[in-house]
Structure 1
Amino acid sequence: MNADRFLELYEQISEAPDAIVRLRRFVLDLAVRGKLVEQDPGDEPASQLLKRIEVEKAQIVGDGKFKRYEGKFERNQEAFAFQLPTNWHWCYLDDVAAIARGGSPRPIKSYLTDEPNGIPWIKIGDSTRGSIYIDNTAERIKAEGLAKSRLVVPGDLLLSNSMSFGFPYITNVEGCIHDGWLVIRTPEKLISKLFLYTLFLSEHAKRSFAEAASGAVVQNLNADKVRQLTVPLPPLAEQHRIVAKVDELMALCDRLEEARKTREETRDKLTAASLARLTAPDTTPEDFPAHARFALEALPALTKRPDQIKTLRQTILNLAVRGKLVEQDPEDEPASELLQQIKVEQAVLAKAGKMKKPKRLPAIDSELVPFELPVGWVWARFPELGIFGRGKSKHRPRNDPALYSDGKIPFVQTGDVARSKGLITSSTSFYNDVGLAQSMLWPRGTMCITIAANIADSGILDFDACFPDSVVGLVPASMFDSAKYFEYFIRTAKANLFEFAPATAQKNINLGILETVLIPLPPLAEQHRIVAKVDALMALCDRLEAALTTADTTRTCLLEALLHEALEPSANVLAAAE
C-alpha cells in the first residue's frame, strides 16, 4: 500500500459516514494478510513454528481436559482464502489450539452461591463489547457445579458461540464457563493470544464464522466448526510486531474518532446557535438581516451530514410561522377580518346541517401567547378555521374483514399519515360500503393530525378518504386555497406542541388539546407568500440533502477503492474512483 497516497486522500474520505469503522476493519485485514509490518527473513518460518506448536498442543489434549478432533481437513491451496508472505503458513485453528465448549449445570439457580470461595461463573454479560479482557464476574457457583461445567484459566481465549456469536475475549479470571462460550487454549510462548484475538476480529474470521453458523434455525458455532477456521500463521516474532502495530493504529483510530466526534459536536452547536439567533425573542427586525446573512454564509462550512438539514428545515418553518420569512404588506387585509369571514361561513354551513355548530371558545389570554405577532396577524384556533373533528370507525373489531372485502374507499390510518411527508397520496387499507357506513368520508384537501401511536404527525389528503378516531381532521374554510400553511405550522409545533397549548397541563394529545392550540394566523395574502417561500426553500433543502448524500456516497466509494487497492493492488482502482 502507498501510505503517502492514502494520507494525501484521507481528508477527502474522513467525512465518510463509517470511515473510522472501515479503517479499523482495514487495519485488521492488513494484519492477518501479512501487509501491516515488514517481514524479517531472519525470523523462524511459520512452518517450523507450527511443528513445535503441534507437539505442545498434543500435550494439552493429552491431559484429558480436551477431546482430540477426529475429523479431516483439506490440505490444499483452494481451501485457503488469500496469498501469504513466503515465511507464513496456512493451517487450521485445530492445529494450533485445543478447543472445547463450556457447560451449564442445571438448574443454574441451585448452583449459584454468594460464598466468597465459590467458583467465578463467567457469563456473556461479564464481557464488554470492544474490550479485550474479562476481569471479573457478577456471580459464582458452588464447587459441585464444576463437574457439569468447564474450568478456564487466565490467558485462555473465549469465543461467544450463540446469540451474538463470534466475539472473542481473553479471560483474566479462573472460573467456569457456560455452554454459550468456547474455550480456546494455545501452547504458552509459541503463539500470541493477542494475534489470535486480532484474527478473530478480522473479516476473514467473521465470514468463516457466519458461513459456519448459517442454515440453522438458531445460529451458533460449535467447537468443530471453529476448529475448521483457516489460520494465516506468521512467524512468532512477526506476530508480536503485528500486535504492537495493531495497538498503535487502533489508538490512532480512537483519536481520529474522538476528533471527529468533537468536530461534529462543534458543528452542531455552531449550526444550532447561528440558526437559533434567527428565532430568538430578542432578535429585532433590524438585527435579523445580519443574523440571516451570517447563518447562510456559515452554512456550507457547518453542514456536512444530510441529517443536519433537518435543523435547517425546522428553522425555516419556525421563521415562517413567526412572520420572519417574508415581508409584511400593510395593504394586506388583516387576519382578524379573515376570521370574521370564516365565522359567517361556519354559521351558514351549520344552519344547512353540513357541520356542527361551532363551540364557543374562551378568549385568548394575552399573557399565555408563545410570542409576539407581526402587525396584521392574530392568534386563532383550529375550530375557528373550518370544520375540525376526529375521524370515525365505530365497528369493533376494527380489522373485521366485513369492512374491507372488495373495498375501494381509502381508509387512512396513523402510519399512512406518518409516512406521508406532508401529502397523503396512498393508503394501506380500503373500506367497502359497509366500512363507509360506520365511518365518515373526509374530502381531498383535509389536513390530518395523528393523536395516537405517532403523536402530531400531519399530512394533507390527496383524495377523499375515511380515517379512524386516532386521527383528527381539519377541512379549511373556503377562503383558504389549501391547508398547507397549517400543515407547516403543525410540523413546526410538533416538537413542543404544549408551547402552543399553554392552558393545558396534560402531557398527551387529544381533540380537546388540539382545540386549544394557538395558531399564528397571517393575512391570507401573506399566507400565500409564506407557503410559496417555504416550498422553494424546502426544495433547496432537498437539493442540499441530495448533494450531501452524493458526497457521502463518493467518499465511501473512494474509501472502498483505497482499501481495495491496499488489499488487492491494481493501477486501475483509484483511477476509477476518482
Structure 2
Amino acid sequence: MTLDTFFEKFDLFADAPGAVARMRELVLELAVQGRLASALPSDSPVQSVVEFRKDTAALAVSLGLRSPIESIEEAIPSFDVPIHWQWVALADIGVAQTGTTPTRADREVINGEIPFIKPADILPNAIDYSNERLTRRGAEGGSRLAPSGSLLMVCIGTIGKCNLIERECAFNQQINSLTPVAAVDSRYLLVAARSRYFQHAAWEKSSSTTIAILNKGKWLSIAIPIPPLAEQKRIVAKVDELMALCDQLEAQQQERQPRHTALARASLSRFADAPTPANLDFIFHPSYDITPADLRKSILTLAVQGKLVRFEPESDTQIVGDHIEFQNGYAFKSQWFKPSGMRLCRNVNVSHGVVDWRESAFVDDDIAKEFERFALSEGDIVLSLDRPLIATGLKVARIRESDLPCLLLQRVAKPVRKHDRLDMSYFFLWLNSSEFVDSIDPGRSNGVPHIFTKQVLLLPFILPPLAAQRRIIAKVDQLMALVDELEVRLSASRASAAKLLSGLVTELTSH
C-alpha cells in the first residue's frame, strides 16, 4: 500500500480516535525511515561523521562560540534506513547552546529588539516573537543568541516541544538550540526532531523528580538518520505536501461538525414536536452524530413532558410535595465505623444510576439493629444531596438486591410516595430528566453544592394517570434499548476504524 492510498482511505477510519494526529505522526515516521523520497543518481553522497564534525567545529568558530565536544558514543541505528544514509548524533551535525535568563533588574538589557523565547512561545506552526525582548547587550551578555534557521527545543518540562526560528533570537534556560551545519537542512532537522522516534528517545534520556529534565549532553547524544542534502529537501517537500493534506482533512472534519450538530438538533426538535416512528428514524440516522447521552436526556425530558405518551394530568397546579416525602439518612458517627458489618449508603456511594461500593463504610450489627428504620429495600431510590451533579449526570440510583443489606446515611435522601397513584419508576425518570436537573438551584453548605429536600418538594410536578405512567415507562424502556444498541454500534464502528487505522499503519511502516 502507498501513502497516497492510505490518504484515499481516510473516510474508512476517520472515526478512529485521533485519526488525523496519527496520520501526521505516520508522515514524520516514514520521512525519517526514508520512505517518502528516493535517491537520485545526481545526489551527492552524504558526508562522513568526521566531515560533519569538521563542519560543526568551523560553524562554532564562525558564531564566536567554543568548539563543541564531539559525540563520544558511536551512533547506533535505531531502525533500518536506506544504505546510503548516515546515522549521526546531534552533537556532530550542529552547534548547540542552552539558554539563560538575564537579570531583569538591569533596565539596559530588556525591552530591546531581540525576541526572548520561552517554552510558551514555541507553537506547533510558528514561534511567537511578540512577547519579551532583550537588547543586544542583554542577549549577548545575559542570555544566548541563536541565528535564524536554528532549532529550539524545550528540554525542561514539556520536553520535545520544538520549532525553527526565522530570525536571531535569545531564549531561556528551559530551551536548547541547535544550529545545523550546511549539509543538514534545518527543515529536515525539524522533521526528525518531531518524529515519534526522536520524541521517545528524548523522554527516555530525561530524568525526572518533580519536573522532567533532559540535559544537553544526553540530548546531543541522540542520533538521527541523515540522507544526502538534496534528498533531505525532497523529503521536506513531500512532508509539506502530506501535512497540507492532513490540514485539509482536519478542516473538512471541522466543517462537517457544525452541520452535523445542526442536523442533530433539528432531528431532536422534530422528534420533540412529533415523536413518531418516522421522526425517531431521523434521530438514529448515522449522519447526524447525536451522542447516546444526548438521546437519553431528550427521551427522558419528552417522556415527562407528555410527548411520548399523551395524557391528561390530574391537576394543572401540582408540586412534588403533593406526592412525595423524603426520608433523610441518619448521622452515623464516624467512630462507629467498622471494617465489616452492615454497609452504609453514603454520598460517595451514590453514582449516576448505580450504587458504587468501592469505598464502603460499615457499622456493627448491634448499631444496625438500633437504626433499622433507616434500612433500604430493593427498588428504593437514593438521591445524593451533596455534589449531586457529575459528568455522567445526576447522582441518583435505585437499590438492587446486590446492594442489600444497607442503611441510609446523612446527606443521602430516599423519596417515599404518599399514595399509590404514583409509580416510583416514573418518579425516577422525572428525577433524571432535565425537568428536574435544570431546576436545581444549588445552595452552599460549607462551600459544597447541595440539594435541599425542602426545595425539591416545592418544584412543579405533573402527575399523569397511573396507566399513562406505566405506558411512559414502557416507552422509555423501549427507546433506551434502541439507544443502547446505537451505543454498541458506535463503539464497534470506532473500534473497527481504530483497528483498520492500526493495520494500515503497520502495513505502511513494515519493511
Distance in 2, matches of 1:139 and 1:408, equals 67
Determine if the alignment matches structure 1 residue 83 to structure 2 residue 16. Answer: no
Structure 1 residue aligned with 2:92? 95
Q: 2:199 aligns with which of 196, 206, 216?
A: 206
Residue deviations 1:521-540, cap 9 Å, x none? 22222222222222232222
- 1:122 is aligned, of 103, 108, 117, to 117
Partner residue in 1 for 2:510 = 568
Deviations 1:192-219 (A, max 9, x none): 1111111111111111112112565532
Conservation of the 8 A alpha-carbon contact between 1:121 and 1:139: yes
> 2:302 matched to 1:319?
yes
CA displacement at 1:73 relative to structure 2? 1.1
Q: Is the 8 A contact 1:460 1:484 kept in 2?
A: no
The residue that corresponds to 1:538 in the other structure is 480
Corresponding residue to 1:457 among 375, 379, 395: 395
Q: Kindly tell me: are residues 500 and 55 of structure 1, through their superposed partners in 2, closer, same or farther at Cα, counting changes over 3 Å?
A: closer
Q: Of 488, 497, 500, which residue of structure 1 is paired with 2:438?
A: 497
CA shift in 2, pair 1:118/1:298, >3 Å: closer
Could you tell me how far 1:234 is from its partner in structure 2?
1.3
Whole-Å Cα distance in 2 between the matches of residues 530 and 104 of structure 1? 68
Could you say if the C-alpha distance between residues 67 and 326 of structure 1 is closer, same or farther in structure 2, counting changes exceeding 3 Å? farther
1:151 Cα deviation from its structure 2 partner: 2.5
The equivalent residue for 1:432 is: 363
> What is the rounded CA distance, in whole Å, between the counterparts of 2:84 and 2:158 in structure 1?
35
Aligned partner of 2:291: which letter?
Q
Is residue 414 of structure 1 aligned with residue 397 of structure 2?
A: no
Matched, 1:474 2:415: yes
Distance in 2, matches of 1:379 and 1:530, equals 21
Distance 1:191 1:511, change over 3 A: same
Q: Alignment length, in residue pairs?
A: 494
Q: Which residue of 2 aligns with 1:28?
A: 28
Alignment of 1:174-253 (within 5 A): 174-187=168-181, 189-213=182-206, 218-253=211-246
Pairing of 1:259-408 with structure 2 (within 5 A): 259-279=252-272, 283=273, 287-289=274-276, 292-297=277-282, 299-304=284-289, 308-326=291-309, 328=311, 374-376=312-314, 380-393=318-331, 395=333, 400=334, 402-408=335-341
Check the 8 A contact 1:134/1:169 in 2, yes or no: no
Query: Which letter does structure 1 place at the counterpart of 2:120?
Result: G
In 2, Cα distance between the equivalents of 1:46 and 1:112?
48
Alignment of 1:45-60 (within 5 A): 45-47=45-47, 52-60=51-59
Contact persistence 2:99–2:144 (CA under 8 A):
yes
Q: After TM superposition, give the deviation of residue 240 of structure 1 in Å.
A: 1.3
Structure 2: how far apart are the matches of 1:112 and 1:383? 70
Aligned residues with identical type, % of pairs = 26
Question: Is the 8 Å Cα contact of residues 159 and 169 (structure 1) preserved in structure 2?
Answer: yes
- In 1, Cα distance between the equivalents of 2:245 and 2:475? 47
Tell me the residue number matched to 1:167.
161
CA distance in structure 1 between the partners assigned to 2:420 and 2:342 by the alignment? 28
Cα distance in 2, alignment partners of residues 71 and 31 from structure 1:
24
Question: CA offset at residue 467 of structure 1?
Answer: 4.9
Distance 2:372 2:117 in 1: 59
Determine the C-alpha separation between the residues in 1 that align with 2:69 and 2:487.
57
C-alpha separation in 2, matches of 1:494 and 1:172: 57
TM superposition shift of 1:72: 1.8
In structure 2, what is the Cα distance between the partners aligned to 1:377 and 1:141? 79
Shift of 1:296: 0.9
Letter matched to residue 22 of structure 2: R
Deviation at 1:548, TM superposition (A): 0.9
CA-CA distance at 1:556 after TM superposition = 0.8
> Match of 1:531, SS?
helix
TM-score (structure 1 length as normaliser): 0.77
Aligned residue identity for 1:121: F
Q: What is the identity, as a one-letter code, of the residue corresponding to 2:417?
A: P
Describe the shift of the 1:237–1:467 C-alpha distance in structure 2 as closer, same or farther (beyond 3 A): farther
Kept in 1, the 8 Å contact 2:77–2:87? The answer is yes
Q: Name the residue aligned to 2:445.
A: none
User: 1:319 & 1:389 partners in 2: Cα distance?
Assistant: 29
State how far apart, in whole Å, the 1-side matches of 2:259 and 2:235 are. 36
Q: Which SS does the other structure have where 2:354 is aligned?
A: strand
* RMSD, aligned CA: 3.2
1:468-507: CA deviations, max 9, x gaps?
5443331234637963322221221278522999xxxxx9
Aligned to 1:504: none
* Post-superposition offset of 1:406: 2.8
SS of residue matched to 2:176:
strand
Aligned counterpart in structure 1 of residue 374 of structure 2, from 441, 444, 452: 441
Q: CA offset at residue 71 of structure 1?
A: 5.3
Q: Give the alignment partner of residue 131 of structure 1, picking from 114, 125, 128.
A: 125
Question: Cα 1:432–1:112, aligned 2, differ >3 Å: closer, same or farther?
Answer: farther
Deviation digits for residues 210-253 of structure 1, max 9, x if unmatched?
A: 21125655322111111121211111111112212212211211
In structure 2, the residue matched to 1:155 is 149
Partner letter of residue 274 of structure 1? S
2:446 corresponding residue in structure 1:
none
**Per-residue deviation, 1:32:** 1.0
CA distance in 2, matches of 1:46, 1:473: 77
Q: Which residue of 1 aligns with 2:74?
A: 74
Q: Given the superposition, is the C-alpha separation of residues 225 and 389 from structure 1 closer, same or farther in structure 2, using an over 3 Å criterion?
A: same
What runs of 5+ residues in structure 2 fail to find an aligned partner?
443-448
Flag the 1:116–1:475 CA change in 2: closer, same or farther, 3 A.
same
Q: Please say which of residues 156-165 and 240-249 is displaced more in the overlay.
A: 240-249
Q: CA deviation at 1:17?
A: 2.4
Cα offset, 1:441, TM superposition? 2.2
